[in-house]
Amino acid sequence: MAASVFTAVPRAPPVAVFKLTADFREDGDARKVNLGVGAYRTDEGQPWVLPVVKKVEQMIANDNSLNHEYLPILGLPEFRANASRIALARFTWVGTAGNSLFQIGSVQSLGGTGALRIGAEFLRRWYNGNNNTATPVYISSPSWENHNSVFVDAGFKDIRTYHYWDAAKRGLDLQGLLDDMEKAPEFSIFILHACAHNPTGTDPTPDQWKQIAAVMKRRFLFPFFDSAYQGFASGSLDKDAWAVRYFVSEGFELFCAQSFSKNFGLYNERVGNLTVVGKDTDNVQRVLSQMEKIVRTTWSNPPSQGAHIVATTLSSPQLFAEWYDNVKTMADRVLLMRSELRSRLESLGTPGTWNHITEQIGMFSFTGLNPKQVEYMIKEKHIYLMASGRINMCGLTTKNLDYVAESIHEAVTKIQ
C-alpha cells in the first residue's frame, strides 16, 4: 500500500483543559474532584440548564412561525441588537437602515471565540493599513490560551504580552500594565478582559480602568474587549459591563466579543456576538460590510437556536427578569464557594495569605499553587486543576469543600 499523503503530519498536543477533563473521567478514585472544566456546576456537581432557557426552548418548539431557513450572514437581527444592548446599555445599535445618530453594530458569531476570530481577521485585513500583519497585538500575562492562538491564526506576526498578574502580592500589576501601554507602538491592539479576568479572576477597579483608558487614548491604542462573563461574575450586568461602557463614553472606537455560554448556560449552542463601536453609522456600516465577507467564507450563516433563545429572553421584560435571577443564582453560588474556601484555608492555618480568593471574581481563581503543588494535588489527592494553579470555583461543593481545602493545605505544607 502506498504511503498516506498525510504521513508527514505531526500529532498536535491535546488542548490542556479538555485533556484534564478526560483524565478526570478515567480516574476511578471516589474522592476525585474536577476543578478544571470551564463550565458552571450545581452544588451536586451537575450541569444546570437555566429554568428560563427551558421555558424559552418550549416556547420556540411551539412557535409554528419559525422555520429552518438561513439566517442573514451577520446573524439574527433581534439577537444582535439585544446582545449589544446589554453590553452597552444606553448606546444605540446600528440596524440595516442608515442613521447618522447610530454608532454601534454587531455580528452574530460561533461563541466568543468566533467573535474574537472575526474581529481579529478584520483587524489584520483593514486596521492600521491593509493586511498589516506587523501591527503589535498585546495579550495579558497570563491570559486565556486561545487569545494568542486566535490572533496568530488570523495572521498577526507580532504577538506581545503586557504585565497583569503580580504573583508576589497575588493581585493586579497596574504599574507594569500601564508601563507596557506607555511603551507600546501607537495603534497597537490590546486584548482586554471586560470582567472576571481568565485565569486570574483579578479585575481593575473603576479608578484603575480610568487610568488604563487615559493611557490608551493618549497612545492611540485599540481596545478589543473579551466579555465572557457579564452578569455571571458579580451578579450585576451593569457592574460587569462597566469597563466597556466607560471606554465607549470616552469616545473610543472598539470591538467587544461577547459570549453567552456562561451567563445563559448555552455552552454547546455556540452563541456569541461581536459588538463594533465606531464614530458614526457610515464607518460602522463599512466595517460590517467587510465582516460579512469574512463570515461568508468562515461559517457562511450562523445557527439560530441559541440566538433565538437569547433574543426571546432579552426582549421580554418578564423573561429578562427570570434570566437575571438565574444568573444571580449562579454568581451567588460562586461567591459563596470563594468565601467558604478562604475560610477553611485560614482556619487550617494554611501557609500564605488567602484573601485573594475572595478578592478575585468570576468562575476562576488563581490560587497561587505552583506546578509541583498542582502535580501533587492531581496525583496524590485526585483533584484536577490547571498547571497554572487556576481552579474553577464551580467545581467546589458543600460536599467536597473540606477535602479540597485540606488537600491544598497539605500540598502547600509539604511541597515547596
Cα–Cα distance between 308 and 66 in angstroms, integer?
10
Cα–Cα distance between 416 and 412 in angstroms, integer?
7
Beta strand 254-259 with 104-110 is: unpaired
Identify whether 262 is a catalytic site residue. Answer: yes
Q: Starting at the earlier edge strand, list the strands of the sheet with 159-163.
A: 104-110, 271-277, 254-259, 222-227, 189-193, 137-141, 159-163
The DSSP code sequence of 35-56 is ----S---TTS-----HHHHHH
User: At 110, is the secondary structure helix, strand, or coil?
Assistant: strand
The DSSP code sequence of 358-385 is HHS-SSEEE----HHHHHHHHHHH-EE-
**Of all helices (H) and strands (E), which one includes residue 140?**
strand 137-141
2: which residues sit within 8 A by CB, 6+ positions away?
Answer: none
Count of helix runs (H) and strand runs (E) in the chain: 16, 13
62: which residues sit within 8 A by CB, 6+ positions away?
Answer: none
Identify whether 323 is a catalytic site residue. Answer: no
* Sign of the torsion angle spanned by Cα atoms 120, 163, 360, 252: negative
User: Of how many residues is the chain composed?
Assistant: 416
User: Is the link from the previous residue into 142 a cis peptide, with omega within 30 of 0?
Assistant: yes
Cα–Cα distance between 137 and 365 in angstroms, integer?
25
Nearest CA-CA partner of 369 in 384, 348, 390 = 390
Instruction: Cell numbers for 223, please give them.
Output: 481596545
Cα–Cα distance between 131 and 38 in angstroms, integer?
34
Identify whether 32 is a catalytic site residue. Answer: no
Q: Which of 262, 323, 354, 381 is catalytic?
A: 262
Q: Which of 173, 180, 203, 226 is catalytic?
A: 226
Cα–Cα distance between 33 and 378 in angstroms, integer?
9
Q: Which of 48, 93, 144, 165 is catalytic?
A: 144
Beta strand 364-366 with 390-392 is: antiparallel
Residues designated catalytic: 144, 226, 262
